[in-house]
Structures are given as C-alpha cells and as structure tokens.
Chain A
Amino acid sequence: GAVVSQHPSWVICKSGTSVKIECRSLDFQATTMFWYRQFPKQSLMLMATSNEGSKATYEQGVEKDKFLINHASLTLSTLTVTSAHPEDSSFYICSAEPRAGLAGGFRTGELFFGEGSRLTVL
C-alpha cells in the first residue's frame, strides 16, 4: 500500500514557540491531505483539508492563524502550530488521498495515514 510519513514523530517545545510538522506521501502524489487531531481516548477530529496549490479549508472552530497549513507540492503538506500553548499538546495525524486517475487500488479513494506526531508543550 501507499506510504505516508510524518516528521517529527514527537516534539517537545516551550510555550510561545512555533512547531512545524511535515507530512509526506512517499510513493504517490496527493492533491489533498488531511490534518487530524486526536485527544486521549477520543476519536480523530478533522482540523483542515490541505489542497495542493491553494488555501487550506478549515473545519469550524479551528483557528486558521494558529494552525498554519501549507501544501506546497504534491507530496508535502506542513502544519505549523504557532505560539504553542500547553492546551495544544496532542497527537496530530495527517492522511493523504492519492491523486485521482492512478491505476490499481487507488480507485476507491482510500486515505493513507501517517504515523502521527505527538506534541508536548511545556
């Protein structure tokens, strides 16, 4: 199957600093990537949809200025948590949808997930 890689897998930062998390599709092109946040013992909350070459679409209640998303190429999306605070500590997961039109198992539009990035803000 397709591989999506996130980096870093964990990061600790001081309150007030900014942290960037990368999401890469390693063996396919992804016009769309999704960023989720997972709280302890809870499900995934969709934060935003990252579209290559255009602005991200944010879900209701997600602060655009705090969670900056950039999708500069067909294989890379980044999430930057700006001026991080302890309440931003969470597990952030990205997923990618292979570009429409590829042959094989991508026709059902599956999502492939990264390993997740655990952010701890002190």
Chain B
Amino acid sequence: GNSVTQMEGPVTLSEEAFLTINCTYTATGYPSLFWYVQYPGEGLQLLLKATKADDKGSNKGFEATYRKETTSFHLEKGSVQVSDSAVYFCALRSRGNFNKFYFGSGTKLNVKP
C-alpha cells in the first residue's frame, strides 16, 4: 500500500540553525513526492515537489531530494527563520491511484529568535 512516515515533532530550533525533517514512504510504482506547509490558522500550501527519482525540489531555501534507493524525501534548510515556524507535511501521490494524496502526520517546527 501507500503510506508516508515523517518524524514526530515538535522540532524547536534557534534562528539560523540547520533544519532536517525526515520523511520516508511506501508506495506501489513510482510516486510523486511533495512537501506542504501549513501556517497557523491557514490551509496547506505547496512548498516543493519532485516527480521522479533523483529530482531535487527547492523553494524559499528549502530543499528535498527524491531518493528511490532509501525511499526518502527529507526536507532541509540551511538557515531557518522565525517565519518558518509552521507544520510541515510530507505527501505522496501514487501513479497507480492518481486521485489520492497520502499525507504524513505532520511535523511542527518552532523557530526561536
């Protein structure tokens, strides 16, 4: 089946620290992978995506590389800001079931000044 596992939070970092949020997946076939971000009181926004193995998605200083061999899509940022505080969701979309997205449980990031 299809599923996404991401590290539990909350993750608390100081401003300018390095961020890694782990995400691994199980899927039939070759899925597309996504990171979504949810700011307090808002809906989800697409942060970045990768559609095939070895692709690197990047946006706003965040990066994630589609690793087929380790079935992972870890989110990284070299220097976080207070404004990055949010909940981050890893998700996959299976090519075999094109209409469904599968989300991880979300990881809350708190960045302190």
Please list the residues of chain A having a beta carbon within 8 angstroms of any beta carbon in chain B: 1, 4, 6, 32, 34, 41-44, 46, 49, 93, 95, 97, 108-116
Contact = CB atoms under 8 A, between A and B. Distances in A.
B101 interface: yes
B105 A113 contact: no
Interface string B62-94: 000000000000000000000000000100010
Contacts of A32: 99
Q: Which one of A34, A49, A108 has the highest number of Cβ atoms from chain B below 10 Å of its Cβ?
A: A108
Interface of B: 32, 34, 36, 42-46, 49, 51, 89, 93, 98-101, 103-106, 108
14 contacts: A34-B101, A42-B106, A43-B89, A43-B104, A44-B89, A44-B103, A46-B101, A95-B101, A108-B32, A109-B98, A110-B34, A110-B46, A111-B46, A113-B44
Contact of B93 (A41, A109, A115): A109
The interface residues of chain B, by DSSP majority, are classed as strand
Given A110-B46, A110-B49, 13 more contacts: A1-B46, A32-B99, A34-B99, A41-B108, A42-B105, A42-B106, A43-B106, A44-B103, A109-B98, A110-B34, A112-B46, A113-B36, A113-B45
Contacts of B42: 115-116
Given A1-B46, A116-B42, A116-B43, A111 B101 contact: yes
Contact of A114 (B34, B43, B93, B108): B43
A6 B105 CA distance: 23
Contacts of B43: 4, 6, 93, 113-116
Contacts of A44: 44, 89, 103
Contacts of A110: 34, 46, 49
B46 A46 contact: no
A114 to B, nearest CB: 5
